[in-house]
Amino acid sequence: MMEENTRQTTLEQFGFTFTKESTSLGDRLPMLSDEERSWTKGSTQKDWVYSHLSCGIGYVWTMPDQGMSLQVISDDTIRLLTVVDHEWCLFMVACVMAALDNLGLKLDLSVAIVAPTSSAIIGGR
């Protein structure tokens, strides 16, 4: 327990926040418009989902332009590992969640770390 508290304090010093201590990440995601939701149903988005799931359980990848990193944790679930605390990045998480939902799949937000915004991380958006 002491080690976890020390690690958390160290990460907080670098500006990271933990979603369990504040508003849940899911509550911070924007509502998608009908047009945006329709876009998440496209064949490109389906291909994107299945190409990552097919890499197998444990596969981790980063999406720097979208400010997030993800991991395949089961045949029907992708876990969000990190997201940058920026409206564009949170919008992209909402799009990923919708794309997965459209296919009967899940996005696990339970261990996501919200990283501080940095123009170097998100390309100045």
80-98 pLDDT, tens digit per residue, is: 999 999 999 999 999 999 9
Tens digits of per-residue pLDDT, 42-81? 999 999 999 999 999 999 999 999 999 999 999 999 999 9
| Mean pLDDT on 17-26 | 64
Q: What is the pTM of this model?
A: 0.77
Q: Please tell me the number of Cα atoms within 13 Å of 43 on its side-chain side.
A: 0
What torsion do the CA atoms of 109, 115, 21, 13 make, to the nearest 10 degrees?
Answer: 150
Pairing of the two strands 77-84 and 106-108: parallel
| Mean pLDDT on 11-29 | 67
